């Protein structure tokens, strides 16, 4: 099975991550193994899961049955909120479910600022990275003040911040802070999760027509040209290939500016300053 021609982004510690992968959030456990197997067969080499998704074991089975060398696949998983007081144990449990002895990226899933547990968890993740069992560590859904707390207290900058980001919700101040700190931005919900008319906006449709691409491919290309890492979710094999086919064209400065102008600060996910699901 040949890998797709997806470029890598180099993280601050030198770890290389494929710029586009498959996310399995809200993929039912019963479907996960098939979808991940299809993605790997199609040439994907980057899978993003989390303990909260309840499908790590199925991801692991797909990895094991793929026949692809472990070093060729980038695997991300995440520490759930209730496990922030016990990060090392939770990490070992994720490894067991995945059937792996290491992951490529391990993230704190949410900051939960009112609980004050993220900093202690971050100290443990630093130790996990130093042990070599995670090639890189980072966070997800952290705002500027949450990132600053970790950096100020430990001097260790997260390699990644995975946040909701799409043309209607561009998170410019947060993205700029991450850029200044050398934190790679991963965009979850890069197409707005199908909860908006983003793919019908004239600016997106016009660019799609100009390049012979779909509106979804145009939005993914908009992300890619800003050096973001993306992992759109799909259950369909043909969409897997379509989503990855965004590296053979470039949006013009005018097309990028037109999509930039769509920002409405309109997010569809939880507020990271208040979210505290257990």
CA pair distance 250, 207, nearest whole angstrom: 10
What is the phi-psi region of residue 155: left when phi exceeds 0, alpha when psi lies from -120 to 50, beta otherwise? left
CA pair distance 18, 224, nearest whole angstrom: 11
Residue 81, SS3 per DSSP:
helix
CA pair distance 247, 233, nearest whole angstrom: 18
Residue 42, SS3 per DSSP:
helix
Residue 257, SS3 per DSSP:
helix
Collect all residues with Cβ–Cβ distance below 8 Å to 54 and sequence separation of at least 6: 29
Given the residues 44, 52, 53, 106, the one annotated as active site: 53
Say if CB 161 and CB 171 are below 8 A apart.
Answer: no
53 given a catalytic annotation? yes
Collect all residues with Cβ–Cβ distance below 8 Å to 131 and sequence separation of at least 6: none
Strand partners, 187: 163, 230
Residue 259, SS3 per DSSP:
helix
Q: What is the largest CA-CA distance in the chain?
A: 51
Say if CB 76 and CB 104 are below 8 A apart.
Answer: yes
List active site positions.
53
């Amino acid at each position: 099975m040949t890998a797709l021609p997806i470029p890598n982004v180099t993280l601050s510690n030198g770890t290389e991550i494929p710029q586009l992968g498959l996310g399995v959030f809200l993929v039912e456990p019963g479907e996960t193994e098939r979808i991940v197997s299809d993605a790997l067969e199609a040439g994907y080499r980057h899978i993003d899961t989390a303990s909260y998704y309840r499908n790590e074991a199925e991801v692991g089975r797909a990895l094991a049955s793929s026949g692809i060398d472990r070093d060729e696949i980038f695997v991300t998983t995440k520490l759930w909120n209730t496990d922030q007081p016990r990060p090392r144990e939770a990490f070992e449990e994720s490894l067991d479910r995945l059937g792996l002895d290491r992951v490529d990226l391990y993230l704190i899933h949410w900051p939960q600022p009112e609980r004050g547990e993220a900093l202690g968890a971050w100290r443990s993740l630093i130790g996990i990275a130093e042990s070599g069992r995670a090639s890189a560590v980072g966070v997800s859904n952290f705002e500027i003040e949450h990132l600053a707390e970790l950096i100020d207290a430990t001097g260790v900058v997260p390699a990644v911040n995975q946040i909701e980001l799409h043309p209607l919700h561009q998170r410019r101040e947060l993205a700029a802070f991450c850029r200044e700190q050398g934190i790679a931005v991963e965009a979850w919900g890069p197409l707005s999760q199908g909860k908006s008319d983003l793919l019908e906006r004239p600016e997106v449709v016009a660019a799609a027509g100009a390049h012979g691409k779909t509106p979804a491919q145009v939005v993914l290309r908009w992300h890619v040209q800003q050096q973001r890492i993306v992992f759109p979710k799909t259950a369909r094999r043909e969409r897997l290939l379509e989503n990855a086919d965004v590296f053979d064209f470039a949006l013009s400065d005018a097309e990028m500016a037109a999509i930039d102008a769509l920002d409405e600060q309109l997010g569809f996910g939880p507020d990271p300053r208040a979210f505290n699901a257990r």
